[in-house]
Structure 1
Amino acid sequence: MADPTGREAVAAVWRIESARIVGALARYTGDFALAEDLAQEALAEALVTWPREGVPAHPAGWLLTVGRRRAIDAFRRRSARDERYAVLARDLGEGGVAAGSAPADPVREAADVLWDPDQIDDDVLALMFVSCHPVLSREARVALTLRVVGGLTSDEIARSCLVPTATVQARITRAKKTLGAARVPFEVPSAAERTGRLGSVLNVVYVIFTEGSTASSGRDLLRPDLAAEALRLARVLTRLVPDEPEVHGLLALLELTAARFPTRTGPDGRPVLLEHQDRRRWDRSAIGRGRAALARANGAGRGLGAYGLQAAIAECHALAPSVRATDWERIVLLYEALGRLAPSPVVDLNRAVAVSMAEGPAAALEIVDALVADGALAGSHLLPSVRGELLTRLGRPGEARTELERAVELCGNDSERALLEGKIAALD
């Protein structure tokens, strides 16, 4: 009898096991793009078979077996094709396989043990490094990571990133072709190059979380599913590379930031500013996990990296009973350290906000005006938004209105735009 929950089981197993399946197939075939295609074929077959025949006793093994069989079929087709080419070349007098010799059998040469528990972690880690390879664009890295490591479908990625499904599919296809053209091997990088490559992986996870915590466009401020996927990926990384302090720094930052999600929007979905959030509703479990991860990053004794410093700033907010009681002087110092380690206009803008709380809006306005003079963040709503807030506090409502109206024009998120419009209305 058909199992009505079969499709749900496929989705659940795929979400949990997809990275291991794709990774194992990539190791088996030596071809990342082929492995991803084989895994998708196995997924499609499961969507047809499981609802009709029931969920198998070992669903992940079933998917892997189907993928492996498809790989063997592909090997045999390739072997037969190569043999035909060799015969043709020999007939044309251009050499080829020696008479009487048998062509190499890639099926027999492949490793017999595919689902080796000792190999799984390396497979998943290698999968992350390949998906986040520097030869790919940032958009391609995000799409490919969500697909092959996160187990999301193209439709789910499209909904999460607010782009058409066809765009996601095109990005994934181009990414696989690029990896193939660049001959990127499926392997964990050597110790000598791992640190640099790990930065690309962490950046992708951070970008995914950032989009989930403050959506760049659309109606909603938060995209919890996207943020949750980034958190899951960060936790996987801490298990795979436990000796890298910056991995724990990133996890700490994500946990401490996500702890405030329950209070960042009101019942109507509109953003709630930090000073108006009910801190009693912050997720204390997430804060505890974040502080533990930050302590582990600190415990390495190598100094905090960029993510660890941001996590330390988030910890200051998490421990403060109110905005007024926050240790703004420490936050300013942490932003100064972050600016030296990873300089960017966004870091300087955030430092200006902290300075406005520690020293007053006038001191902060000097920092913001310097960013304006440099032409920094010209297309972002963040700079005029902060400048408008500072001008409001300085009692210059006319100039503040101009800045806030400019921020509204540049803002792509409906919820944030409504908040800015409320600030303009308050000036009256």
Structure 2
Amino acid sequence: MKRLRPLVASAANWEPPVPRKHFYAMLLLTGLTLSAVAILPAPGDILERPLRLELPISTSGTATNEDNTEFNAIPDHELMDPALPDDDIPADTGPEWQDYRVRNGENLTTIFNTLGLSTTTLYKVLDADGKNNLARLKPGQNIELLIDQDNILQEMKIRLNIKQSLEFKRVDDNYSVNMITEAVEWQKRGFDGVINGSFYVSARNAGVPASHIKKIANLFQWRLNFASDLKKGDKFKVLMQQETVQGKNTGNSQLLGVEVLSKGKRFSAWLAEDGNYYDAEGQSLERGFRRYPTHSRYRISSTFNPARRHPITGLVRPHEGTDFAMPIGSPVLATGDGVVLKATRHPLAGTYVVIKHGRTLTTRYLHLSKLLVKPGQKVKMGDKIALSGNTGRSTGAHLHYEVRINNRPVNPMTVKLPMAEPLSGKAKRQFLAKVQGYRKELAAS
């Protein structure tokens, strides 16, 4: 009987089914393929890219259906060049009370529109005010508002007269109202101190409330840089008045005046009857702003609208600025003095510029075609900073312009901008007399 041949040959005598050099090439290619597959992310790890809808550009150049929601979510401090200097006044980390002084011809509707508060909120507040106290607002009347980071009104206080105040508080999705009647007295108090370290620490050590330190920093933002200009040994005086009820401090206070002596120069700010602050000669401490970022008045193709429904997706996407329909290459102007924080590109905003004006106000200019400034550069009101365009997520040539206060978008066309008008005539004479009285109060304190 014949012996069967082994089914498996020895490894030493095995020959590949293809020429040996081809076999090794196939083996190398297989190894590389497996290595590439090993380093790829799992299907669930791949971020799904949003579908980009390419719309035909309007022949009139006025279509402005851009969606800058993702870009607008970027806070100004993240856009800031880290090389730029900053002071040590603590940044706002949560909602803070803000004051609004009623102007001639204003009512609650125009005030809410200026602050960017929704019409729904307005109706709910008016419903809570059963006696129509809010229908009788007077010029010069002060309104205190607590607006959170989502631009929702949480509380509002309106002093109707020296003894009565209305307090509105958000409860669930509506507002409750409470009439406060009290006998109040205002008592003046003075503080003085010497710079030893930072102004913030020195003023706190002197007893000045933190809220007033921030207010002082804002008043002098155009004239003094507290981080670099003030030196050890410089002096300051602060005069304020505190509200009391039956001799107890209510926590409400008002800054009446401040003087800072630095390098032999005296800087001062005093409260006038119109509710604004001026120096000892009646000159405004503010820098002027222009309403429009352009030479010509171009047509507004899309207005500020916190509750706008996006025309493409149908979703609510706030439009946090004003769009001007203008040809590509038109000059774009800085609306106020400031420092350029950012001048670069973004997938949604296109080529854009961010300018910081003082401590609390910034402006943004989007969808540009050409930059004419660099980060860190100082600009003056009216300086040409860029040329308009149609870059980023945009469907027509236009300029998207934003104004932000404490990184909260406001309506650029209605927001109360700083003005630089000095006092004159009778108002100036009354102011100068009041300054003399303030200084006597400081000397006696």
Return the TM-score normalized by structure 1. Answer: 0.23
Greater RCO structure (CA 8 Å; 6+ sep): 2
CA radius of gyration, larger in: 2
Kindly indicate which of the two structures has a greater share of residues assigned to helix: 1
Return the TM-score normalized by structure 2. Answer: 0.22
